[in-house]
Structure 1
Amino acid sequence: MTRKFEGDKLLVATHNAGKLAEITEILAPFGVSVIGAGDMDLPEPEETEDSFVGNARIKAHAAAKATGLPALSDDSGITIDALGGAPGVNTADWAETPNGRDFMLAMTRANDELNTAKATAPRTAQFRCTLVIAWPDGHDEVFEGVMPGQLIWPIRGENGFGYDPMFQPDGLDITCAQMDPAEKHKISHRGKAVTKFIQGCFSG
């Protein structure tokens, strides 16, 4: 039996403004006050696991322990089949520069590596999201969502963030960055994981 969320304040253990905005928007109908880890000056814990669920657990438990609030963390990324599942948990690392994250650099690297691997079309990939909600007493619940698609080049679209401009979801002829954000929520990996979280912790 999934533990229900009983409070009115949820800490989202992320310093990523894009993720925080998406989760805040999705949870708005439930009357939950959402606060980000950055707002509480929480340090970002070292992500030492080699799986999305492992890193999500580290972040959620660290935030819950530090604040005494239930904490929701998201570890997400892109897995590219022709690259053996890379970048996976290193999705954001591919964008790191001395001056902050540059996802144009990351997308270019992904395309270059696919070309080097002589990957043929469709260049299949998946956006993956693992949500973990942890309570201060150490209990947690895990929810996962996957959005399958393919990578295209050149990139298209101005919306979204991360690798969205090169990711075309299955069944569509536009990229995530060309979609209306509300439409993207309905099919996205994060949208699917959050839906499972809502069904598990808020519904019934």
Structure 2
Amino acid sequence: MADVARRQVAGLALLAVVAAASLLVAPDRLFGVASDLADRPVVFGVLLVGVYLVRPLFAWPTTLVAILAGYAYGPVWGFPVALSGTTASALLPFLAARYVGAGSGLVARLGDSGERFFAATGDLRGMVASRLAPAPSDPVSAAAGLSGVSTGAFVVGTAVGEIPWTVAAVLAGGSLDSLSTAGLTAISWELLAAGAAVAVALLAGPAYRAASARR
């Protein structure tokens, strides 16, 4: 029990750090550095790796970093770079939540709700649907970690579900003449609606079976 309590205290401390960092550190300076390094692909690649590693700490959206990849490498090379980085970056909150564990209280209830969701949908289908839904990446990753989703299903489901958002962000970045946080609207409402519709379609069968089982 003491070990669980220590892990939960560590988890709460990490959440506090993330909340503070997201308020204090805006990506404006990052965009300035990225603009200066965009014509040096290798150095820019090192920058991207670092940004993907710290992105969850600052609660920056994955599409923001994908825009950087599209800006520097264009759509063809930017897409695999951005998708790989997004998937790897999502593993950090997933593994952190798995380490903290469900424990008790609100965290336990969240873990139980997630377990019921993935038990109904299956790990892979549930992850793909969760990524296609217009929801913030890191809470989805943390919920999957608390719910006991397998690492393989998490990685594959994240990679598949993030494809449309990554494509949109990379294309937006590739079309920019200069980087700025102003006016970066990579995700249109049409894409949001389409992603939500596909997510609902993926969950319709499991939801119907779950409802039928309760009758």
* TM-score, length-scaled by structure 1: 0.29
Q: Rg: which structure is higher?
A: 2
Greater relative contact order, per chain length (Cα 8 Å cut-off, separation 6+) = 2
Between Structure 1 and Structure 2, the one with more helix by share is 2
